[in-house]
Amino acid sequence: MRGAATGCLLVLVAAGPIRAEPVRVVDALGRGVVLAAPPRRIVTIFSSNTELVAALGLTDRIVGIDAFTRYPPDAAAKPVVGGRLGFSVEAIAAQNPDLVVLTPARQAVHQILDALERIGVPAVVLTSRTVTEVVENLRLLARATGVPERGEALASGLEARLGAVRERVATRPCRRVVMVTGRLGNGLLLSARRDTYTGDAILRAGGCFALSGNGAVPQVSPEAVFAADPDVLLLAGSADEMAELARRPGFSGMRAVAAGHAHAVPRTEFLIPGPRTVAGIERLAGLLHPAGAP
C-alpha cells in the first residue's frame, strides 16, 4: 500500500505542477478578458485604479502608473507611463506588464486599448459611475489578480460600513447640498451632480441636490449657487480653500456660510473612486447629520 502511494506521488511529481485555470472577467465595456495566470506585473492608469490594486495588498505588483498618482506613497514611486498629455504604449510595454487597468478618461482608452490588444497585453477597463460600481471593481480586480477571497472580504466590509450609514441617515431629513469640485479660470464653478459616483456618495450620506440638472462634469455660475441657497455648502479641497471661497462676494452672504454649514471635504475621498470614498461618505454623513441633531 505504501509503495502504491509512493508510486502515485512520483507520477504527480513527474507530471509537473498543476496549472491554475485561466481567469475570465468581463470589464466595463463588456469585453471578455482572459488571463492565463494571475498577473504579476500590473500597470494602473489613473489614481483610482492604483488605489484599488493597492487596497488588495498588491502594490508590489504595480510596475507603472500615471503622472497624477500620489497614493499610496510606495505606489507613487513607480515608473510613470503617461499623464495630462497622453499615454505612451511604448512606455507601458517597456514595463513588460501582464495586465493593464485603465478607465475611459482623458482619451486613455482610445489611445492605448487597441494598441495593447495588438501586442497581446491584456487590459481591463473599469468605470465608476456609482459607489456600488466602485465596490464591485474591487471584486473584479480581485478575481483577475488571483485573490478573490481578499477582494470579497474587503468589498463586504465596505458594504457593511455603507449599510451602517444608510441606517443612520434613513430617518433624518435630507440636507440640500452644493458640492463645489473645482473652479475654472472664467469664473465658473464645477459642482457634483447626479449620475456620478460623487453624487451617489452625497445621497448615501443623507444629502440631496440643491442644484437641478444632470451631467458628469457640469459648469455652473456662482449666481446659480447663490440662487440654489443650499443648506450646506461643500468644497472638495482644503480648509484654506473653503475659507477663501466663503470670503468671496456673494458666498459670504449665503445662508449656509452664515450658519457655519460650509465645509471642506477631502478631494481624495470624493474625486478618486476607491475604498477611501466610503470613509468620505461616513465623514459627510457626520457633517450633514451630526449626532444628537433632530
pLDDT band, very low/low/confident/very high, at 9 (cuts 50, 70, 90): very low
Q: Which CATH superfamily is domain 172-288 in?
A: Nitrogenase molybdenum iron protein domain (3.40.50.1980)
Q: For position 104, what pLDDT does the model report?
A: 86
Q: For position 256, what pLDDT does the model report?
A: 97
Q: Is 14 exposed, middle or buried (0-12, 13-18, 19+ CB in 10 A)?
A: exposed
Phi, psi torsion values for 36, nearest 5 degrees: -65, -30
Task: Say if residue 152's pLDDT is above 70.
Answer: yes
Q: Which CATH superfamily is domain 18-154 in?
A: Nitrogenase molybdenum iron protein domain (3.40.50.1980)
Q: Where in the chain is the domain with CATH 3.40.50.1980?
A: 18-154, 172-288
Q: Which residue has the higher pLDDT, 179 or 217?
A: 179
Q: How far is CA 76 from the centre of its chain?
A: 16
Whether the CB-CB separation of 100 and 123 falls below 8 Å is answered with yes
SS3 283: helix
Q: What is the mean pLDDT of the segment spanning 225-243?
A: 96
pLDDT band, very low/low/confident/very high, at 194 (cuts 50, 70, 90): confident
Measure the CA–CA gap between 62 and 135, rounded to whole angstroms.
20
Q: What is the mean pLDDT of the segment spanning 44-64?
A: 97
Q: For position 214, what pLDDT does the model report?
A: 58
Task: Say if residue 84's pLDDT is above 80.
Answer: no
Q: For position 13, what pLDDT does the model report?
A: 41
Q: For position 11, what pLDDT does the model report?
A: 40
Task: Say if residue 10's pLDDT is above 60.
Answer: no
Measure the CA–CA gap between 120 and 146, rounded to whole angstroms.
20
Percent of the chain with pLDDT over 70: 89
Task: Say if residue 103's pLDDT is above 60.
Answer: yes
Q: What is the mean pLDDT of the segment spanning 6-24?
A: 53
Measure the CA–CA gap between 89 and 76, rounded to whole angstroms.
20
Percent of the chain with pLDDT over 90: 80
Measure the CA–CA gap between 148 and 7, rounded to whole angstroms.
35
Whether the CB-CB separation of 6 and 16 falls below 8 Å is answered with no
Residue 156 CB: number of other CB atoms within 10 A? 13
Helix (H) or strand (E) holding 245: helix 239-247
Q: What is the mean pLDDT of the segment spanning 170-191?
A: 93
- Computed over every residue of the chain, the mean pLDDT equals 90
Q: For position 25, what pLDDT does the model report?
A: 96
Whether the CB-CB separation of 233 and 202 falls below 8 Å is answered with no
Task: Say if residue 2's pLDDT is above 80.
Answer: no
Among residues 248, 275, 116, which one has the least CA distance to residue 183?
Answer: 248
Q: Which residue has the higher pLDDT, 59 or 193?
A: 59
60 DSSP 8-state letter: G
Answering whether pTM is above 0.85, one says: yes
Q: For position 5, what pLDDT does the model report?
A: 47
Q: What is the mean pLDDT of the segment spanning 108-112?
A: 78
